[in-house]
C-alpha cells in the first residue's frame, strides 16, 4: 500500500492506494498544474468543478483518439478485396 500526502488549494489530503507510486506522483503533478491553471477561481467547489471538467475533456480526447487508432488498425488487418485479381 502506497501512502502519499497531496495538497489541493492549501489543504493536505493523505491518499492510500494499491496503485504504483508512479501513478500517485503523476496525480500529484496534475493536481499542481490544474490548481495553478484555475487559481483565479475563489471557491473550492468552482475550482474542483473546473479541474474535473479539464480531466474529463482530456479523457474524452484520449478515448476518441484510441477509437480512431483502433479503427485504422482494424482496417489495416482486413484484406483488401478490391485489389484481388481473379
Model pLDDT for residues 12-71, shown as the tens digit of each residue? 889 898 999 899 899 889 988 988 898 888 888 898 899 899 999 999 999 999 999 999
- Give the SS3 label for residue 43: coil
**Cβ atoms of 27 and 6 closer than 8 Å:** yes
> What pLDDT, on the 0 to 100 scale, is given for residue 44?
82
Beta bridge pairs of residue 6? 13
Alpha helices in 9-43 (DSSP H): 21-37
DSSP structural state of residue 18: S
pLDDT band per the 50, 70, 90 thresholds, residue 9: confident
C-alpha cell at 60: 474524452
Maximum alpha-carbon separation in the chain: 72
Residue 84 pLDDT greater than 60, yes or no: no
C-alpha cell at 44: 473550492
Amino acid at each position: 500500500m502506497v501512502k502519499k500526502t497531496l495538497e489541493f488549494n492549501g489543504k493536505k489530503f493523505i491518499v492510500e492506494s494499491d496503485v504504483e507510486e508512479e501513478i500517485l506522483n503523476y496525480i500529484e503533478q496534475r493536481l499542481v498544474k490544474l490548481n495553478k491553471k484555475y487559481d483565479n477561481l475563489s471557491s473550492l467547489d468552482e475550482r474542483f468543478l473546473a479541474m474535473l471538467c479539464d480531466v474529463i475533456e482530456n479523457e474524452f480526447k484520449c478515448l476518441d483518439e484510441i477509437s480512431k487508432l483502433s479503427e485504422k488498425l482494424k482496417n489495416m488487418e482486413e484484406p483488401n478485396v478490391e485489389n484481388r485479381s481473379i
